[in-house]
Amino acid sequence: MPELPEVETVKRQILPVVAGRVITSLEYIDRRNIKNISSKEFKRKIVGDKILDIERRAKYLFFKLKSGNWMVIHLGMAGRVLLKPDKYVKIIFGLSGGKKMYFSDTRLFGKIWLYTKYPELGLGPEPLEKSFKLGDFKKLVKSKRGNTKVVLMDQKFIAGIGNIYAAEALFVAGINPKRRMESLTDNEIAKLYKGIMKSLKAGIVHKGTSVSDFVGAIGQEGTNQNYLYVYGRKGEPCKKCRQPIHKISLGQRGTYFCSKCQN
Ligand SMILES: [Zn+2]
């Protein structure tokens, strides 16, 4: 599933092309991704509106429209927002100046909503916001109990981290994913904060992790899969200590870690 770095990558790639353009037409191949409004109503409302800006919040893309409405897209498992079509296109947005934006989805877990005002989705803080300091993270951690990795993936706790970046952040921090949040020392919390920052930033620099379906807006794969320490590397040697990487199940998710480097 695309996480913060993948969604941020898509945002950065589509924003310069679509911002300032009017949505001149809408064509459905499949209507099932439209969620809080009928597909007919969605089309009636969105055609003629203008895209002013796109914000990324957690794993969501928020399209700010001139009417005051917000179109919100969640890519789900395999959703894509593209500037070039692929064979799974479900919705085609015609834009002024002859441009097009495509919503594609192989598995139909992607979701599109239209809201009349900025929607409050009850998400936790954005880890890469400059205002999000170590002190804020410490307060958050101290307010929460439970398995560390499961908590990191809770979008109400902190926004945008999923299975890949939770595993990577814990490796960088040297923390075993089985640890409980309430057992972390101040020093470990500081290491985890740094691990989160480092892992998410690496994902953005490498334009996303393409281990399953993720591609950027022009269909290109990211390269962050080549830089992962633990995720997807079961049995392969740890990049720090050469011991084989373990895979266990935690909160029903495959969890990768090094039992020597992570305590
Ligand atoms: Zn190791």
Question: For residue 210, how far is its CA from the centre of ligand 1 (angstroms)?
Answer: 23
Question: For residue 207, how far is its CA from the centre of ligand 1 (angstroms)?
Answer: 26
**Catalytic residue from among 59, 80, 149, 191:** 59
**Pairwise CA distance, residues 19 & 226, whole Å:** 32
Q: Give the pLDDT of residue 213.
A: 81
| Catalytic annotation present for 177 | no
Q: Where are the alpha helices (DSSP H) in 19-147?
A: 39-46, 134-142
Per-domain boundaries in the chain: 4-115, 134-257
In three-state secondary structure terms, 34 is strand
Question: For residue 240, how far is its CA from the centre of ligand 1 (angstroms)?
Answer: 5
Q: What CATH number should be reported for the domain whose range is 4-115?
A: 3.20.190.10
| Catalytic annotation present for 253 | yes
**Pairwise CA distance, residues 251 & 242, whole Å:** 27
- DSSP lists the bridge partners of residue 114 as 71
Q: Give the pLDDT of residue 126.
A: 97
Q: Give the pLDDT of residue 18.
A: 98
φ, ψ for residue 74, nearest 5 deg: -120, 130
Q: Give the pLDDT of residue 239.
A: 98
**Catalytic residue from among 2, 5, 127, 177:** 2
Domain formed by 134-257, architecture? Orthogonal Bundle (1.10)
Question: For residue 32, how far is its CA from the centre of ligand 1 (angstroms)?
Answer: 44
| Catalytic annotation present for 119 | no
**Catalytic residue from among 3, 6, 8, 188:** 3
**Catalytic residue from among 11, 50, 179, 253:** 253
| Catalytic annotation present for 3 | yes
**Pairwise CA distance, residues 171 & 116, whole Å:** 42
As given in the structure block, the two tokens for residue 50 are 């203008």
Residues of the chain with pLDDT under 50: none
Q: Give the pLDDT of residue 155.
A: 96
In three-state secondary structure terms, 20 is coil
Q: Give the pLDDT of residue 107.
A: 84
Q: Give the pLDDT of residue 37.
A: 96
Q: Are 162 and 5 in contact (CB under 8 A)?
A: no
